[in-house]
């Protein structure tokens, strides 16, 4: 189970992760506020049934790009069943990582962004016959329009 409880404290304090000896006072304060919010939101009986509460730090741009690569691996696999190969340029990867990230939600919006900007348009193109078996499609970013484009 995950929750975004206390994200307003993280936004004000920067990132929050496991408390380490080099954590700042702001990190410790945010951690304490989140624990307090947790205890005021959920009944003690419920909290007592949870084995562990883990607070994660915000994702970096590089981590988001790695998640894009992992999600694209699944998309590639599905499209390869139709004989279509898909390549992703670094510019497109970077843009998708930004579109799929939300400070409060983390990487959760990424799957929707990939569906909207990559999967759905490629599926429509595949069904319309624009791309076929044996084709390689490059997913790129149009630098002027700041939108995803496909190149055969």
pLDDT of residue 82: 86
- Widest Cα–Cα separation across the chain: 59
pLDDT of residue 12: 47
pTM above 0.95, yes or no: no
pLDDT of residue 21: 43
Class of domain 61-151: mainly alpha
Average pLDDT, 10 consecutive residues per value, the chain (152 residues): 62 42 67 83 88 76 94 94 94 95 83 96 92 94 94 92
pLDDT of residue 4: 63
Task: Return the domain boundaries, the chain.
Answer: 7-48, 61-151
């Amino acid at each position: 189970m995950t929750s975004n409880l206390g994200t307003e404290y993280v936004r004000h304090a920067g990132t929050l992760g496991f408390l380490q000896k080099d954590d700042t006072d702001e990190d410790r304060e945010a951690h304490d506020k989140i624990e307090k919010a947790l205890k005021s939101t959920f009944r003690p009986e419920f909290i007592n049934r949870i084995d562990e509460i883990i607070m994660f730090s915000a994702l970096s741009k590089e981590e988001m790009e790695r998640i894009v690569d992992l999600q694209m691996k699944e998309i590639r696999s599905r499209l390869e069943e139709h004989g279509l190969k898909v390549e992703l340029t670094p510019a497109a990867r970077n843009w998708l990582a930004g579109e799929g990230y939300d400070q409060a939600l983390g990487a959760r919006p990424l799957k929707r962004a990939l569906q909207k900007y990559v999967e759905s348009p490629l599926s429509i193109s595949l069904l319309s016959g624009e791309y076929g078996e044996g084709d390689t499609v490059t997913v790129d970013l149009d630098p002027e329009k700041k939108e995803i484009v496909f190149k055969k």
